[in-house]
Amino acid sequence: MKYRYLGDSGLLVSRICLGTMTYAMKDWGCDLDVARALTRKFVDAGGNFFDTADMYSTGGSEEMLAETISGLDRDDLVLATKCWFRMRPSANAKGLSRKHIMEAAEASLRRLRTDYIDLYQVHGPDPFTRLEEVMRALDDLVRTGKVRYIGCSNFFGWQIAKANGISERMGLEKFVSGQHLYNLLRRDIEREVLPACADQGLGMLCWAPLASGLLTGKYDREKGPSEGTRIGYRAEIDMPRYWSDDSFRIVDECVAIGREHGRSASQVALAWLLHDPRVTAIIAGVRTEAQLEDNLGVSDWDLTDADHERLTNLVGFNLGYPQEWIGLTFWNIGGMEEFARSR
């Protein structure tokens, strides 16, 4: 297993993080016996990094994760969880107010049966709460020893820059990670979020790295998603998000590159993400041991630059404006320097 530093922090995490959204998930998840086997296999392969959230199965994922790591040395593990979603129908049981962040962190600590959370992430931006209040509350969790590092998820680039700017000004803890939707079929974050993270010292943790399983190559464009699979269960979300001719062209290329190297399409798609040094880890979500075993194939296997480029350029991805303007006009101010520098 290869390890990477989590953004600007001194914390080393395995470059595969085990996503536990499937733990205790009724429809498309796994039960305790399978979860135990997944955790064991992951740790045996050198994995130390787990991701969960308070809202996954309304606390069930955190509880099941706690059960599967009991008996392991807590200090060898890096546990990440999140708050933001409404947890019960009470006015303040949601969002990022100081009141809810404090309550949610305490509840996660209880469910995870631990004294501290390694990475506490805000699951999304809260338009009703000032970022000053959010960053101060998160800082208090760090100061009181309940949390080691803080991160955000599903933020816009400007919110990331603003949050860390506020922390700089107020002497508070800064975000060291962003957790965002990123895979070969959805590259939206390349426009603003990834550059903001790199500038602000946040490592990227990629959720849905296999596009709900489409990038494994197991779906058939003509037949549609079969029952018992993630896309079958969540067709209303995943079909518009991923199901297109361009997607299947990319999937076919992953299969082809995989064949050339004796690798699976999943491994090729995951390795494409890990090729970018701005990415700290891919969050592998799995339902079975066989799936985990397959995905663990990228614990130390890398894509060549040529294969990476082949996939990157197969279907054009438009960075859009203002990148287009910069591309057209950059010659005006560049060209006379000995070395290019980027700020």
Ligand X SMILES: NC(=O)c1ccc[n+]([C@@H]2O[C@H](COP(=O)([O-])OP(=O)(O)OC[C@H]3O[C@@H](n4cnc5c(N)ncnc54)[C@H](OP(=O)(O)O)[C@@H]3O)[C@@H](O)[C@H]2O)c1
Number of residues this chain uses to bind ligand X (CB under 6 A): 29
| 168, 214, 228, 276, 341 from 232: Cα distances, Å | 45, 11, 6, 31, 47
Nearest to 264 by CA among 244, 285, 284, 293: 293
What's the min distance (Å) between Cβ of 330 and ligand X?
34
Binding part of the chain for ligand X, among 39-47, 125-133, 203-211, 326-334 by CB under 6 A, reads 203-211
What's the CA gap between 326 and 322, in Å, rounded? 6
By C-beta, is 137 or 208 nearer to ligand X? 208
14 binds ligand X (CB under 6 A): no
Instruction: Let me know if 134 is exposed, middle or buried by CB neighbors in 10 A (0-12, 13-18, 19+).
Output: buried
108 binds ligand X (CB under 6 A): no
Within 10 Å of residue 2's Cβ, how many Cβ atoms?
A: 13
At residue 233, what is the residue type?
Answer: Y
What's the min distance (Å) between Cβ of 192 and ligand X?
17
Binding part of the chain for ligand X, among 104-112, 142-150, 184-192, 284-292 by CB under 6 A, reads 284-292
Instruction: Find the angle CA(340)-CA(342)-CA(343) to the nearest 5 degrees.
Output: 145
At residue 192, what is the residue type?
Answer: E
What's the CA gap between 118 and 43, in Å, rounded? 17
What's the min distance (Å) between Cβ of 206 and ligand X?
8
* Strand, coil or helix: 137: helix
By C-beta, is 108 or 266 nearer to ligand X? 266
154 binds ligand X (CB under 6 A): yes
By C-beta, is 203 or 285 nearer to ligand X? 285
Binding part of the chain for ligand X, among 3-11, 66-74, 282-290, 334-342 by CB under 6 A, reads 282-290
Q: What's phi and psi for 184, nearest 5 deg?
A: -60, -25
* Residue tagged active-site, from 3, 5, 23, 56: 56
Instruction: Tell me the per-residue interface mask from 226 to 265 with ligand X, x by CB under 6 A, - otherwise.
Output: ---xx-----------------------------------
Lookup: tokens for 83: 């708050």
By C-beta, is 132 or 276 nearer to ligand X? 276
Binding part of the chain for ligand X, among 90-98, 101-109, 209-217, 248-256 by CB under 6 A, reads 209-217
Site for ligand X in 178-197 (CB under 6 A): 179
Under a CB-based contact definition with an 8 Å cutoff, are residues 305 and 46 in contact? no
The H-or-E segment that residue 21 falls in is: none
For the question of residue 182 being annotated catalytic, the response is no
DSSP state at residue 72: B
Give the residue carrying structure tokens 């998603």. 225
225 binds ligand X (CB under 6 A): no
Q: Which residues bind ligand X (CB under 6 A)?
A: 19-22, 28, 51, 123, 153-154, 179, 207-213, 216, 218, 229-230, 266, 283, 285-287, 291, 294-295
- Which residues are tagged catalytic? 56
